[in-house]
């Protein structure tokens, strides 16, 4: 989305127009998050923390600029336009501009002395910037996803999807540990069919499903079958407030929609009891080449990652015994289901 307030900078050559790329945007945000996380590590030298925080802020500021369809090779300009690209006040970009000057002195004059107050100001500015990027752009994506799944609930596609996922989901359920009693959560439950299946297990004391789509949740509630242990809630996962934790967290074809996905995996870890398990399935991943055009086909952003990238994300969040597997259906009509199948990531807390 172009911004009239920045068009003059295009005319003067300080900005150039370049089509938005969801993949680049997501990569910049991931880079910013990772560097900011490391910058908060007080065990590191102040020079290293400053460098990490500065580059985190630049990655996030550039992500905001790129989301609007602009690019600049001038880092100062990337910071200067933040009031227009992401809506932060001058108190943020002025700190970043000061840190930009300080970084140049260190880079080109060899003066690497940094004071702690400037580092703290930089860390605070970078954290504000991260939250603003999440709020401004993540919510737009969420609305697109809500609209899409509401439509699929209304036109009957939810039942088609459930049928298409049945083979893989049954294999995933077989992976559940033998528990005398457990609480189950399905993230992105759609019409609730997996919750209904799991609730039939005598060992299950609660089978809960959450989804961002009101229409999907309405479908699920209309199919509860008078089960007292089936619960459904319309909410997005990152803001989901659970009064109790779970023993099994399941998700099929949902995690790559959640932005940022690193926060989703950390949230899943926090929601599980000790020794609880997570089982996540997805058909959209790097090795499944037939899936790469799905975001363009349905008009919503998805985060494309390789099998090893997904595995490492779960390990980095604290999960142990993380396993990845591809469930292939030899009798499927779609070639990709036979050749690549559903990627399944499983781990324990």
> Degrees (nearest 5) of the Cα angle 331, 322, 187?
70
Q: How many H-runs (helices) and E-runs (strands) does the chain carry? A: 15, 9
Q: What is the mean pLDDT of residues 321-348?
A: 97
Same domain? For 41 and 73 the reply is yes
Asked if pLDDT for residue 296 goes beyond 90, the answer is no
pLDDT at residue number 249 = 98
Count of domains for the chain: 2
Residue 224 to residues 196, 221, 230, 254, Cα–Cα distance (Å): 7, 5, 7, 22
Q: How many CB atoms lie within 10 A of CB 280?
A: 26
Q: What 3-state class would DSSP assign to 320?
A: strand
Asked if pLDDT for residue 345 goes beyond 90, the answer is yes
Nearest to 211 by CA among 250, 155, 176: 250
CATH number at 239 reads 3.40.50.150
The CA distance from 80 to 97, in Å, is 7
The proportion of the chain whose per-residue pLDDT surpasses 90, expressed as a percent, equals 70
Handedness of CA 71, 73, 74, 78 (dihedral sign): positive
pLDDT at residue number 16 = 94
Look at residue 145 and tell me if it is in a domain: no
End residue of a domain, out of 79, 107, 140? 140
pLDDT at residue number 2 = 58
End residue of a domain, out of 99, 116, 140? 140
99, burial (CB in 10 Å: exposed 0-12, middle 13-18, buried 19+): buried
Say if CB 310 and CB 345 are below 8 A apart: yes
**Domain extent at residue 270:** 156-348
CATH number at 68 reads 1.20.120.330
Same domain? For 99 and 26 the reply is yes
Residue 7 to residues 11, 13, 69, 296, Cα–Cα distance (Å): 6, 10, 11, 27
The structure's pTM equals 0.65
Same domain? For 312 and 341 the reply is yes
Both structure tokens of 48: 């290293």
Say if CB 288 and CB 338 are below 8 A apart: no
């Amino acid at each position: 989305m172009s911004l009239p307030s920045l068009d003059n900078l295009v005319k003067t050559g300080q900005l150039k127009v370049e089509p938005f790329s969801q993949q680049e945007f997501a990569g910049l945000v991931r880079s910013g998050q990772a560097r900011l996380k490391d910058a908060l590590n007080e065990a590191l030298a102040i020079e290293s923390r400053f460098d990490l925080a500065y580059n985190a802020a630049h990655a996030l500021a550039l992500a905001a600029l790129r989301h609007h369809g602009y690019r600049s090779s001038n880092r100062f300009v990337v910071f200067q336009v933040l009031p227009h690209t992401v809506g932060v006040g001058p108190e943020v970009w002025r700190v970043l501009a000061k840190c930009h000057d300080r970084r140049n002195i260190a880079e080109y004059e060899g003066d690497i002395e940094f004071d702690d107050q400037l580092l703290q100001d930089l860390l605070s500015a970078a954290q504000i910037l991260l939250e603003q990027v999440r709020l401004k752009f993540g919510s737009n994506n969420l609305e697109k996803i809500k609209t899409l799944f509401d439509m699929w609930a209304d036109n009957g596609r939810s039942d088609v999807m459930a049928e298409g996922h049945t083979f893989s989901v049954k294999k995933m359920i077989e992976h559940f540990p033998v528990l005398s009693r457990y609480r189950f959560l399905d993230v992105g439950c759609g019409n609730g069919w997996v919750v209904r299946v799991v609730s039939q297990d005598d060992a299950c004391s609660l089978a809960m499903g959450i989804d961002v789509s009101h229409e999907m949740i309405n479908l699920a509630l209309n199919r509860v079958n008078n089960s007292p242990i089936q619960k459904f809630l319309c909410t997005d996962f990152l803001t989901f407030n659970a009064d109790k934790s779970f023993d099994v967290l399941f998700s099929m074809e949902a995690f790559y929609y959640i932005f940022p996905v690193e926060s989703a995996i950390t949230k899943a870890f926090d929601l599980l009891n000790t020794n609880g398990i997570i089982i996540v399935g997805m058909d959209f991943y790097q090795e499944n080449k037939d899936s790469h055009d799905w975001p363009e086909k349905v008009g919503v952003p998805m985060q494309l990652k390789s099998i090893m990238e997904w595995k490492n994300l779960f390990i980095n969040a604290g999960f142990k015994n993380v396993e990845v597997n591809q469930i292939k259906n030899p009798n499927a009509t779609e070639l990709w289901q036979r050749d690549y199948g559903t990627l399944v990531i499983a781990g324990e807390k």
